Structure 1
Amino acid sequence: MSQHHDAVGDRAHPPVRPRTEAGAVSPLELFFDLVFVFALTQVTATMAAQLSGVGLLRGLLLVALLWWSWTGYAWLANLVQADQGIARFGMFAAMAVMFVLALTIPEAFDDAPGGLSGPVVVAVCYFAFRALHLLLFYVSSRGDAGLRGQLLRFTPAMLGGTALLLAAGAAEGATRTWLWVAALAVDYAGTYFGGARGWRIRSAGHFAERHGLIVIIALGESIVAIGVGVARLPISWPIVVASTLGLALAGGLWWAYFGISAAAGEHALAAVTGQQRAGLARDAYSFLHLPLVAGIVLLALGLKKTLEYVGDEQAHALTDPLKGVALIALVGGIVMHLLAQAAFRWRTTGRLDPALPVAALLVAPVAVLGTALPALVTLAVVAVITVVAVTLETRLRRPAQPTGHSGAAAPANR
């Protein structure tokens, strides 16, 4: 009798509660994302303080690490109610770990004197964050042999990546950077080659909305970078013009994503089920949204530096060109984002839309031509190209509908 009562109690109060197809993003998930916002601002600030090619590479590695941390919890919250049962406590614990990691970002590669070792703290936090994610997934997979099997295939890559990251904490200089590259390569590749047949996407709408919110957050961070770039400078006409152009550029990228890409992605995800849906979600969202978001982070750095250039009263604000890493960040960020959106649309709809790749090809030469142009003119050129391309595309056609084969179908069946 007692055993029967316990069984009934377990069914009445499960440790996690499954998400429904119609479930929306919960307030706790939005709260969770705020820590991710802080981490992105830390990356931009660190790259700005260490403006070099190596600093840019390390910043992108940090974005990749943060993204892989965040996207795992996006999958988890699509499987269970994040604000119910044990998942709620797990989300808060993960937030605490991510916040400590974000605080340590300035010391992720170069340890500051005194205190704990920054590189080791980052590695330990990453391991704790991923291990907690794996544990919550394991609890959520009770009764689902397919998901349990997928977790077993996923675990070696997670352990291998975090082990290499811990080794990086004990290394120095270039060796530390290359160990980071290896760690992330192992983690990402292991997830891809582990297949998608056991993963579950219960709500296409929730999954697409969650990633759309992250895009908004990243774009918002680029707007914050505009303000931070001139916060201590007296307002001037160059600052007013550059700020307006920067906002127009961010608005153009927002329009391209939410005017066409977001709807196409959600429709394609909702049109398939099971293994095909999981594969599409992995490819289009977990993988292709990384360069999409990383491009925005680079753009934020470029905008920050551009505003500093045009607002500096000690320099020739209207004639000095944007140079070096700052120019590469501005142009490279836009090109990376536009190409990532084009790839996302191809993977979800099976169509290769020409507007965004053509815009990327027009923007790319500015990385060379910009060395001979005033910074304000460079910003105006890339902003006009982006906004005109997006405007023409939006006017010429409606949001793309899926063609039925959801892009490259083969990876979805891995």
Structure 2
Amino acid sequence: MSGESPTAERGSFGLTRMRPRDPTQVFRAASPLELFFDLIFVVAVSFSSAQLHELEAEGHLWSGVLAYVLTFFGIWWAWMNFTWFASAFDVDDWFYRILTLTQMAGVLVLATGIKSAMSHGDYRILILGYVIMRLALVTQWLRASRSHPELRRTALRYAVGVVICQILWIGFPWISPSLQIPVFLVLVACELAVPVWAESARKTPWHSAHIADRYGSFTLIVLGESVLASTSAVVSAADNSHHLGQLVITGFAGLVLAAGMWWLYFATEVTERLDEIRTALPFGYGHYAVFAAAGAFSAGITVLLSSQMDTSDLSPVAAAATLTIPVGIFVLGVWFLILRHNLEGVTRIIVPVGAFVIAACAFLPGAIIFAALVMAGLVVLVERHRVSH
């Protein structure tokens, strides 16, 4: 199914003029190329989650979480930028595909550098993959600037802003380790400022329903990867354990949590909040916490299983927290970005309180069971009290 505009005309070398897409187009679904793009990105998410599990299971809890937070930003930000660009400009000719595939190649380069970045603080390969992705997108923005005069200023602002950020990122691996965190925060602020600056010239015509669909699809893929990782961990542990009953309970409770996360995310529509830049940008930026928490969920359940098998250096409470805290953050993020605008009465307060309760379940014996029960209760409340559209 082609993603190009119905009025697109082929020009020299079989290329199409990159006209903006119609933001009111009916039934704007994700293209096969976009779905392929998502699957490649999930490879990087899976690598970062697996490395987080290894670091947490070895007792490197805080350093592992910090490394994961830094690494995941590059994965999420590159995905987000392409997603919004493709919602506004998508011609689906050979050059567009090549540039998108180049970004996918950059993702794989980034993925190969995740272990060295998270375990040894060596960000050279990871930054290389990130820069490949970003510069391919710069080429897309330059192409868009030539094709549509009214959006030229916006497109050139994106291109210039991204290039400046990449020049700064290239120097990141060689700065002093003591300065990495403050420098990282400054670079993140620069990256986040680029869309704000560029869109202030003229808003790009993204498609609200398409954006909601793209974010929903990526959430599904990340949750699916988490279920696969947790199931694989249960199967592996069952082969070497006499505590099969406990493993089955943990696996079932993990499925309840994943199902609850899915249910809450898709409990209500969000499209109407994506029409304006003042609400669309917070939605996009806020998904960093949602996606990162979903990725950490798979690491948490494998860490909890390792603790139950006595193969983890973490205490039972700390091991449980690697699961309950990401789930709590996910619920809190979904409430803030989506649910709070569509809930009635006291339920608007109960959901964020429930998120903190899920996180606090780490202090209880059988933490995952209590967390699953709280999640089930939140789902029932949301279903009973959400606003009908």
**Equivalent pair of 2:10/2:17 in contact (CA under 8 Å):** no
Q: Which structure 2 residues correspond to residues 9-408 of structure 1 after superposition, within 5 A?
A: 9=11, 13-16=15-18, 18-20=20-22, 21-22=25-26, 23-51=28-56, 52-81=61-90, 83-111=92-120, 118-155=122-159, 157-234=161-238, 236-260=244-268, 263=269, 265-269=270-274, 272=275, 276=276, 278-284=277-283, 286-310=284-308, 312=309, 322-324=316-318, 326-345=319-338, 349=341, 355=347, 358-364=350-356, 367=359, 370-371=362-363, 373-374=364-365, 377-399=366-388, 401=389
Q: Kindly state the Cα deviation for residue 332 of structure 1 after the two structures are TM-superposed.
A: 2.2
Note the residue ranges of structure 2 that are not aligned, 5 or more in a row. Answer: 1-8
Output the CA distance in 2 between the equivalents of 1:175 and 1:366: 34
**Count of matched residue positions in the alignment of Structure 1 and Structure 2:** 369
Q: After the TM superposition, which of the residue ranges 72-81 and 170-179 deviates more from structure 2?
A: 170-179
Question: Residues 248, 313 of structure 1: CA spacing in aligned structure 2 closer, same or farther, 3 A cutoff?
Answer: same
- Most deviating of 133-142 and 209-218: 133-142
The alpha-carbon distance between structure 1 residues 126 and 354, as it changes in their structure 2 partners (threshold 3 A), is farther
CA, structure 1 residues 302+9, in 2 after alignment: closer, same or farther (shift >3 Å)?
closer
Cα 1:75–1:341, aligned 2, differ >3 Å: closer, same or farther? same
Aligned mates of 2:163, 2:357 — CA distance in 1? 41
Question: Residue 245 of structure 1 contacts residue 380 of structure 1 at CA under 8 Å; is this kept in 2?
Answer: yes
How far apart are residue 331 of structure 1 and its match? 2.6
Q: TM-score, normalised by structure 1?
A: 0.79
Post-superposition offset of 1:67:
0.8
**Identical-pair percentage:** 23
CA RMSD of aligned residues (A): 3.0
Q: Does the aligned pair in 2 maintain the 1:24–1:206 contact within 8 Å?
A: yes
Range that drifts further, 118-127 or 70-79? 118-127
Structure 1 pair 237/196, CA: closer, same or farther in 2 (3 Å)? farther
Greater shift after overlay, 91-100 or 352-361?
Answer: 352-361
| Deviation sequence 1:55-109 (CA, Å, 0-9, x none) | 1012012112111100111112112336334211111111111111112111125
Unaligned ranges ≥5, structure 1: 1-6, 113-117, 402-414
- TM-score of the pair, normalised by structure 2: 0.84
- Between the aligned partners of 1:359 and 1:394, the Cα distance in structure 2 is 12
Please identify, of 301-310 and 242-251, the stretch whose mean Cα deviation from structure 2 is larger. Answer: 301-310
Q: What's the offset of the Cα at 1:213? A: 0.1
Does structure 1 retain, via aligned residues, the 8 Å contact 2:100–2:136?
no
TM-superposed deviation, 1:228? 3.7
Contact 2:165–2:191 (CA<8 Å) still a contact in 1? yes
CA distance in 2, matches of 1:50, 1:168: 23
Structure 1 ranges of 4+ moved more than 6 A: 350-353
Contact 1:301 / 1:329 at 8 angstroms: preserved in 2? yes
Give the conservation status (yes or no) of the 8 Å contact 1:94–1:129: yes
Residue matched to 2:6: none
Conserved in 2, the CA contact under 8 Å of 1:160 and 1:186? no
Question: How far does the alpha carbon of each residue in 1:174-199 deviate from its partner, in whole angstroms, 9 at most, with x for none?
Answer: 43344333322221134335544523
Separation in 1 of the partners of 2:215 and 2:112?
24
The verdict on how the C-alpha distance between 1:84 and 1:364 changes in structure 2, with shifts beyond 3 A counting, is same
Q: Distance in 2 between matches of 1:61 and 1:55?
A: 10
- Higher mean C-alpha deviation, range 49-58 or range 227-236: 227-236
